[in-house]
Amino acid sequence: MDGPAASALHQMTGPFYLLDREVAEGHRGEVSSSWGQEVSPPGHEWLAVGDNSVLFQVWPKKTSYVRLDLWGGPPVPDEPWELTWDGRLFLPSGLVVLVEFEEAELEECAPFDLRARDAHWRTRVHAKFGKYDHGPEVAADTYDVDFYRVQLWPG
């Protein structure tokens, strides 16, 4: 596969979650929810991971750009990144949302459709800090931002 089947770019401020929409809305039912129970994988203090959520531990008021990519299989190698985490998430609704929280307020972005319910997803998160230096989505001279690429594929 040459590229992602779908992509979306979001601008976030401060710490934020990536999680299943049903979990974000509190419609857990029989779904095991890890929201609020995330732990940092060894060597990855910049994020915390649960069964169906990832917490991006960003400084308050810090601007981040997050690109979500849906792949049909493992993504092709990408340009070098400062940090990378690989793992697996269970996303029952098949819809992923980014939820920023600042001063006890939760704000959710538009859902990103993974096109499959009740599935496990291989998840790769890349991070660069300080300068956005690739892609047409953001001005080339954008500084003092963090950039994350989240790649999801079945598995």
We report the CATH number of the domain holding residue 16 as 2.60.34.30
pTM: 0.86
Q: Structural domain tally of the chain?
A: 1
| C-beta of residue 148 within 8 angstroms of C-beta of residue 135 | no
| C-beta of residue 11 within 8 angstroms of C-beta of residue 65 | yes
Q: Could you tell me if residue 1 is inside a domain?
A: no
Q: What is the pLDDT of residues 7-19, one digit of tens each?
A: 999 999 999 999 9
Q: Which domain does 99 fall in, by range?
A: 6-154
Q: What is the pLDDT of residues 73-100, one digit of tens each?
A: 999 877 789 999 999 999 999 999 999 8
Q: Could you tell me if residue 88 is inside a domain?
A: yes
Q: Could you tell me if residue 95 is inside a domain?
A: yes
DSSP string spanning 97-149?
Answer: EEEEEETTEEEEPPPEE-S-SSEEEEEEEEEEEEE--SSSSS-TT-EEEEEEE
